[in-house]
Every structure is written in structure tokens, then in C-alpha cells.
Structure 1
Amino acid sequence: MLPVFGALAPIFLLILFGHAIRRQEIVPDSFWAPADRLTYFLFFPCLIIDELAKASLGDLAVWPMSAAMIGGVAAATVIMLAARRFLTMDGPAYASVFQGSMRVNTYVGLAGAKALYATPGVTLAAVGIAVVIPLVNILCVVIHARFGRDAKGVSLGSVLGGLIRNPIILAAAAGTWLNLSGVGKPPVAGPFIEILGRAALPIGLLSVGAGLDLAAARAAGMGVAIATVTKLVLMPGITALLGMLIGVQGLTLTIAVLFNALPCSASAYALARQMGGDHTLIAGIITVQTLLAALTIPLVLALYR
């Protein structure tokens, strides 16, 4: 566990550093929104393209790993739906708790996979992004449409259209095509994309830290606890058990567990605002999960790697 914690510690220190930068106003608040946008639309896709283009996909059992990850999400969904009748909270709060139990922070995931397992880890994490992100986005939109205060024009159709245009998913498709077609890492463009990709994780992790809301975390209640236990404990545990049952092992099992053990992403806040969820509650969930993940991820990996 200590080697894993040591490898992941710089990632969470960078997140805390990002929070300190914003709290001390070292850069103006106006910096963070364009930094997020540039990372999401340019740096992060470049990182995924670069890693997938040069990976040895034929040596990795991606389909069983994907099945384990989807199974973990499906099991957590069933648990949360079954728990609805026992939870004494209104619809918007439930929608945010559900979302906090499903969404994954891909910046933390790729950074962790890279720190622990280098290129093969990043490759499998990129596969996880392509498999899990569309699924959880659709589930969260459906739940918000059912339980949120209002959808403000956001429909399942518009979300599906957004997924098709999602730069992360498009990057995963482009990198996979470069790999499987035999083109690999193209000259000139390849090194250029690689340099841009190097900026993704430091800027992305700083932005994660800048978005932490400690006031919301201090007001955390039962909803935060339910989402945190489901996301950081139950989902990775179920993923590990399903993976072992269907024969997933080695690095593929480890990355499947790691990916489903990630804290909730900051993008959950935007969806809660758009579709009438409890955005204060989801801010608390994001903050608490991000801080606790520094302890839970090493523990989960020590148990199931």
C-alpha cells in the first residue's frame, strides 16, 4: 500500500496546490475557466491520442475489463435505485447523490494510471473513459430528468449528441484508429500532439483543486456519505469481484478497479445546475470524495491489485 500511496501522493498534492493557488488568489479567478476549457478541448484529447497511438493494444484484454467496469456501474445503479424508497431526501438531492455515486474524475484517473503503470496503464484508462463516461452520463441525465427540479431544455437526445461530439471520446476513437490502422504516431504531428498532451495532467489537476468547495464539504450530511461510500468503496469492490469471476486479471483488473474507484468529477456540478439537482450537495460530494480518494484509492488497489 505504501508504494501506491507514494506514487499517488504527488497527484493529490497538486490538487491541494491548485486549491491553495485559488484561495490565495495567486492568479485571478478569470484564469480557471479558460484553463479548464483549454485542457478539456485540447490538452487532454492530445494526451489520449498520443498514448493510444503508440500503445500495444493487442496485448491487452480490453473487452473483459470493459465488462467488469460496466458491471460495477450497473450494480451501483441498482443499489442506488433500490435505496431511493428508504432515503428521506427530496428529488433534487437524490439526483445529486445518484450522480455523485457514478461520475468519475478522468484527470485523476489518467494521472494515477500514468504514475503507477506508465503507458499500459494510461492506455487502459483511456479505454475506460470510452466505455464508462457515455454510460454514466446517460444514467445521470435520466435520473435528473426524473427527479430534478427542471431540465432547462436538456434532453437525452441532446446529451447523446454531446457524447458524439465529446472531445475525449473523439480522441479515444482517433488514437485507437491510429493504432489499429498501423499508422501509429505520425511524424511531425505526433511529437506536436505529445508536447500538448504533457500539459493536460498538471493543469487539469490544478483546476480540480481550484474547484474544491470546503464550505460545502463542511456542511456534508447523509447524502454525501451515501454517495462517497457507494463511489469509493462499493463500486470498486463490485468491479473487482465481477472482474475476477469473468477471468480479468493483472493490470487490466487493476485499472478497472482504479477507474471505478475514482472520485466524482467537477462536471457533475454543471449538470446539477442545468437539470435542477442540488448543486450545493454535489459540490460537497465532489470535495469530500476528492480528498478521501487520496486514502481510499491506495487501500482499494492494495486489496484488489
Structure 2
Amino acid sequence: MFQAFGFSLSVTTPILLMMVLGYIFRQRAMISQEFIRSGSKLVFNVTLPCLLFLNIATADVGALIQPKLLSAATAITVGSCLLLWWYGRNMGPAQRGVFVQGCFRGNMGIIGLATIVNAFGNEALAPAGIYLAIISIVYNLTAIVVLSAAQERSEQSLLLQTIRSTMTNPLLLAIAAGLVLALLGWRLPDWLTTSGRYLANMTLPLALLCVGGSLSLDRLKGNRSLIIQASAVKLVLLPAFSVVCGALLGFSGMNLGILYLMMATPSATASFVMAQQMNGDADLAADIIAVTTVLAVVTTTIGLLALRALNLI
């Protein structure tokens, strides 16, 4: 049990520390809101794509693509959305879609990858990157459906915009390019690989500092009941259900760990942007993001402790 507890803390404590430092730096004006915006943009457009590209380009392609894992994650996401949509049938139009999205859409690109690297090492980055690419598409399309249905109006223009942005997403392009190189067996020059690693190594520390610096619990003003319910689903019920499904399907070790850690991530910041675009309750979306981001460290630690104690990962 002590060994399992030590493992859980080794995964989540560095993430908590970096986010706390980001929050402290922001409060002490050591980093500004402009730094957070610029840093987040740099991570999304440059350093994270470098990280994913380099790890996928040098990996065994056959071991990367896990159809069973990806199919299970897609089915769990879509199935949970249907159940949550039914559960929220009495909510207002502005809250229903936002609530559902806040419950299923996780911050896989930053928090998910960070916990997976801490738990399984850099060799898990490549399969986690493929998972990220496929499930991000599922997230985007599902979010459009639930937010549009909640408003009872068609959002064809937003659907086209989302498809266009998905096709030009730096993360997906980097993953696709890495797969091409891996399939062709091409090797990058050492000087280019080294330069890319310099950028890649910046990714998780910078991203977590930006996440911590952007946190603000002072502005919580939405429906606290919905915030609590969404947080419970996102951080406890959905990850637990995913583990049960994964175990029944025969997953264990790194595959089960990837499924759990991706599902256990806090609500994604993209939820807020999507809620704004589709006239949802953006304040509710922001509140769910803030609360789940703070609590995710605790719930993930407990979840990892349970999985480790049961010898599932």
C-alpha cells in the first residue's frame, strides 16, 4: 500500500507543484496575463507539437495504434454524453449543453499527457499522442452536437469551422507527420532532433505554469449545484466507469493507465471557448474548469492509488 501511495504521489505532486507555482507567480506579478496567453499559444502551436512529433516519429508504429483502446474510449465518451443529455433534460438551454460538455471533455493535451509521462515515462507519449488525436476529434464533434441541440438551432457554420480548425490543428498535423516518418522509416538529422528536443522539453513545465497562473476561484458565481455535479461526474464517475469498462475488456498496465488518466483529466479550457461561440452559459463552463482543475490532483492521486493497489497498472 505504501508503495502504491508513493507511486500515486510521484505522478500527481509535480503537476500540483507546477500549477501552484504558476498561481503564486501570477499573484506576485512575476508572470502576467500576457505571458500566460503567449505561453499557452507557444505550447499549443510549437512546443507540444514538437514533443508529440519527435516521440511518434521514433516509435514502433505497430505498437502505437490500439484500435480496441480507441474504440472503447470513443464508445465511453459518446455513451456518457447520451446519459448526461438525458440527465440534464430539466436544465435550461444555456446550461444543459455546457453541463454535458464540462462532464466529458477533458484537458488531455496538458494535464493528461503530464500525468501519463509521470506514470509511465516518455515511452507512453507516442500511444497517448495517438489517443489524443482521435479522441480530440470525438470531443469536438460531440460538443457541437450537444451545444447545438441545447440551443434548438442548427450550427452548420460552426461545424464547418470546427472541421476546418481540426484539419489545421498543429497537434494533429504533428502526429500525422510523425506517423508518416515512422512508417517510412526515415530518421531526422541529429542537429534537428536536438533542436526539437530543446523545444519539446519546455512543453509540460511551461504549460502547467500557464494553467496555474490562469486559475481563479474568486469569480465563482454560477449554479453551484451544477458545478458540483459536473465535477463529480468528470473526476469520479466517468473515470471509474472507464476503468470498469477497460478492465472488462482486458486492458491493464499502460493501456488501462492511459484510458484512466485521460478520462480523469479536469474539464478542458476549450469548453469555455465553445460555450461562448454557441451562446451557452460561459460562466458555468469557466467555473467547472476552475473547480475540476483544482480537485483533479486529489481525485487522480486516489484513483492511481486504487489502481496500483489492485495491480491493474
TM over 0.5: yes
Once the two structures are overlaid, the 10-residue window that deviates more, 137-146 or 107-116, is 137-146
CA shift in 2, pair 1:96/1:213, >3 Å: farther
Quote the Cα distance in structure 2 between the aligned partners of 1:224 and 1:186: 49
Report if aligned partners of 2:63, 2:127 keep a CA contact under 8 Å in 1.
no
1:256 matched residue in structure 2: 259
2:310 matched residue in structure 1: none
* 1:11 equivalenced with 2:21 (yes/no): no
Matched AA of 1:98: V
Q: Give the superposition deviation at 1:117.
A: 0.8
Q: Give the superposition deviation at 1:180.
A: 2.2
Quote the Cα distance in structure 2 between the aligned partners of 1:282 and 1:172: 29
Structure 2 SS opposite 1:155: helix
1:100 matched residue in structure 2: 102
Query: Of the candidates 188, 210, 214, which is equivalent to residue 213 of structure 2?
Result: 210
Quote the Cα distance in structure 2 between the aligned partners of 1:256 and 1:124: 11
1:45 matched residue in structure 2: 49
CA shift in 2, pair 1:16/1:220, >3 Å: farther
Q: Give the superposition deviation at 1:186.
A: 4.1
2:37 matched residue in structure 1: 33
Runs of 4 or more above 6 Å deviation: 149-153
Report if aligned partners of 1:220, 1:284 keep a CA contact under 8 Å in 2.
no
Report if aligned partners of 1:266, 1:286 keep a CA contact under 8 Å in 2.
yes
In the TM superposition, what are the counterparts of 1:101-120 in structure 2 within 5 Å? 101-105=103-107, 106-120=109-123
1:22 matched residue in structure 2: 26
Quote the Cα distance in structure 1 between the aligned partners of 2:141 and 2:128: 20
Tell me the alpha carbon deviations over residues 73-127 of structure 1, each in whole angstroms, 9 at most, x when there is no partner.
1221122111122x4x311112221111122112011111111111222222212
Query: Of the candidates 191, 195, 203, which is equivalent to residue 194 of structure 2?
Result: 191
Percent identity reads 26
Report if aligned partners of 1:152, 1:274 keep a CA contact under 8 Å in 2.
no
2:71 matched residue in structure 1: 67
CA RMSD, Structure 1 to Structure 2 (Å): 2.2
* 1:235 equivalenced with 2:238 (yes/no): yes
Report if aligned partners of 1:109, 1:262 keep a CA contact under 8 Å in 2.
yes
Q: Give the superposition deviation at 1:235.
A: 1.8
CA shift in 2, pair 1:77/1:33, >3 Å: same
Once the two structures are overlaid, the 10-residue window that deviates more, 129-138 or 151-160, is 151-160
Matched AA of 1:289: T
Report if aligned partners of 2:65, 2:127 keep a CA contact under 8 Å in 1.
no
Report if aligned partners of 1:55, 1:119 keep a CA contact under 8 Å in 2.
no
Count of aligned positions: 303
CA shift in 2, pair 1:186/1:113, >3 Å: farther
Gaps of 5+ in 2: 308-312
Report if aligned partners of 2:97, 2:147 keep a CA contact under 8 Å in 1.
yes
1:271 matched residue in structure 2: 274
Gaps of 5+ in 1: none
Quote the Cα distance in structure 2 between the aligned partners of 1:12 and 1:154: 39
Q: Give the superposition deviation at 1:140.
A: 0.9
1:299 matched residue in structure 2: 302
Report if aligned partners of 1:71, 1:242 keep a CA contact under 8 Å in 2.
no
Quote the Cα distance in structure 1 between the aligned partners of 2:222 and 2:27: 19
Matched AA of 1:181: L
Report if aligned partners of 1:264, 1:285 keep a CA contact under 8 Å in 2.
yes
Query: Of the candidates 56, 59, 62, which is equivalent to residue 60 of structure 2?
Result: 56
CA shift in 2, pair 1:68/1:184, >3 Å: farther
> Given the two structures, how large is their TM-score scaled by the length of structure 2?
0.89
Report if aligned partners of 2:64, 2:130 keep a CA contact under 8 Å in 1.
no
Once the two structures are overlaid, the 10-residue window that deviates more, 40-49 or 235-244, is 235-244
Q: Give the superposition deviation at 1:220.
A: 5.7
Quote the Cα distance in structure 1 between the aligned partners of 2:82 and 2:152: 23
Matched AA of 2:28: Q
